[in-house]
Amino acid sequence: MLVVTGVWGSFHPVFAQDKRISISAPDSLIETGLLKHILPRFSLKHNIRVTVTRAPETGNMAFQLDPSGLPVFKQNEEIWHLRVTGEDPNGYLKIFEDWLLSAIGKRAIEGFSPKAGGPFSTNVISVVAKRATATERDTNLGKSLAMKNCGRCHAIDESNRKKTIGSTPSFGALRTFQDWEYRFEAFYTLNPHPSFTQIEEVTPPFPAGSPPAITPIKLTLDELDEILAFTRQIEPADLGRAVQSN
């Protein structure tokens, strides 16, 4: 039996340890009642407590309509995506993601009958495929920007692997990080990039006395966005293989 306390969305079965994650969702999703239906099922199975927050960007994960996440279910034509927004040191977020995509998770989602708005479906694959075609041109732009700006060090795909610096992680290897998006969005603040990277209207000019030792990278935030869109559809490298950075 579940005891649901005054703060809705926080479920309190008795847990051996206090394992918890939090997830943000907009009111429009919360009000359907779906999360109240599925989250206790997940919590009971995995002993991980899930707190729902309304404020965006406050959880470890977010349910959102914005397609910058994993499509997980849809109601009518609205596709909901799960985006990991925080670190996942214990792997709980991955457990949640796997559960949501599992047969049990899908049954929980599809077994819910909302009071309004029609049933939820987990059949989002065809939509994803369609979207991939629609954005083909965008990712081509992102790919050429990545090749030109990042490809002298990072292997972007097989075509430039041989010309790159072996010790620099490939884009496929970087894609395996749970928080790869964060790292890409912030790459110009992460070493070694700051000494040779300028983002228009974001980074200060290079110090007058010490110009970059190598050909600098100059990008706008829009161009970085294109690189992210391209990177999103790169297959993460197979980490089952012996550890290799390239």
If binding is defined by CB under 6 A, does position 161 make contact with ligand HEC? no
Closer Cβ to ligand HEC, 174 or 229, answer by number = 174
Beta bridge partners of 121: 74
Q: How many residues does the chain have?
A: 246
Contact (CB, 8 A) for 156 and 147: yes
* Cβ distance to ligand HEC smaller for residue 20 or 193: 193
Which of 35-43, 111-119, 181-189, 233-241 is the region at the interface with ligand HEC (rule: CB under 6 A)?
A: 181-189
Q: Is 192 in the site for ligand HEC (CB under 6 A)?
A: yes
216 binds ligand HEC (CB under 6 A): no
CA 78/CA 191 separation, integer angstroms: 39
Q: Does 149 bind ligand HEC (CB under 6 A)?
A: yes
Question: Min. distance of Cβ 139 from ligand HEC in angstroms?
Answer: 14
Rounded Cα distance between 184 and 223, Å, is 12
Closer to ligand HEC by Cβ: residue 141 or 217: 217
Q: Is 193 in the site for ligand HEC (CB under 6 A)?
A: yes
User: Under the criterion CB under 6 A, does residue 217 sit at the interface with ligand HEC?
Assistant: yes
When the beta carbons of 130 and 183 are compared against ligand HEC, the nearer one is 183
Measured between alpha carbons, how far is 6 from 116 in angstroms, rounded to an integer? 23
SS (H, E, C) 175-217: CCCCCHHHHHHCHHHCCCHHHHEEECCCCCCCCCCCCCCCCCE
Select the residue interacting with ligand HEC from 41, 74, 81, 154 (CB under 6 A). Answer: 154
Spell out where the chain has E strands.
20-24, 49-53, 61-64, 70-75, 78-84, 120-121, 197-199, 217-219
Q: Which stretch binds ligand HEC (CB under 6 A): 6-14, 31-39, 53-61, 187-195?
A: 187-195
Residue 154 CB, shortest distance to ligand HEC, in Å, is 5
Nearer to ligand HEC, 17 or 191 (CB): 191
Residues in contact with 180: Cβ distance below 8 Å, sequence separation at least 6, in sequence order = 174, 231
Residue type (1 letter), 79:
I
Positions in the binding site for ligand HEC (CB under 6 A): 149-150, 152-154, 168-169, 174, 183-184, 187, 190-193, 214, 217, 227
